[in-house]
Amino acid sequence: PEQREAVGRLFGTSGGRGGSLSVNLERLERLLVEAGLCSNLREAVEALLGPVEDLRARREQEA
């Protein structure tokens, strides 16, 4: 319930109902960029959690 409420506040919606919760990542990125918090979603995630490994690039290198 708290996560749903937080997402609702972030997007200016009710947060919805049901067992699952999904977030439109393009919309989230747009909100963060327009707020001047980051230049893209990856930058925001890395600021919160640290470096993000590009697994696709890693697999391609190893192939």
pLDDT, tens only, 28-39: 999 999 999 999
Whether 59 maps to a domain, the answer reads: yes
User: How far apart, in whole angstroms, are the C-alpha atoms of residue 9 and residue 3?
Assistant: 10
* Residue carrying structure tokens 């996560």: 3
Whether 20 maps to a domain, the answer reads: no
Whether 10 maps to a domain, the answer reads: no
Contact 41, 25 (CB under 8 A): yes
pLDDT on residue 36 = 97
Give the global pTM: 0.74
Residue 46 pLDDT grade (very low, low, confident, very high; cuts 50, 70, 90): very high
Whether 47 maps to a domain, the answer reads: yes
Q: What residue numbers bound the domain in which 61 lies?
A: 25-63
Question: What's the structural domain count of the chain?
Answer: 1
Contact 22, 4 (CB under 8 A): no
pLDDT on residue 20 = 85
